[in-house]
């Protein structure tokens, strides 16, 4: 019974790690998009 509980806990941890990795990727992508947008804006209005 304990092994089943341990396995369930391990699976939950693994899926939490996956979710964290997904969020990190999405955050990095959003950051890159923002950088590109700001760069475009800077080129458009050179003041």
Has residue 24 been placed in a domain? yes
Q: Is residue 32 part of a domain?
A: yes
Asked whether residue 33 is domain-assigned, the answer is yes
Count of domains forming the chain: 1
pLDDT at 15 over 80: yes
Integer CA distances (angstroms), 20 to 28, 30, 32, 36, 41, in order: 12, 15, 18, 24, 31
pLDDT score of 19 more than 80:
yes
Whether residue 3 lies inside any domain: the answer is yes
Instruction: Please report the pLDDT score of residue 14 as a whole number.
Output: 97
Q: Which residues contact 13 (CB under 8 A, 6 or more apart)?
A: none
pTM exceeds 0.85, yes or no:
no
Average confidence score pLDDT of the chain: 95
């Amino acid at each position: 019974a304990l092994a089943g509980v341990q396995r369930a806990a391990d699976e939950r941890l693994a899926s939490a790690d996956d979710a964290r990795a997904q969020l990190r990727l999405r955050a990095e992508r959003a950051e890159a998009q923002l950088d590109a947008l700001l760069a475009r804006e800077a080129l458009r209005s050179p003041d």
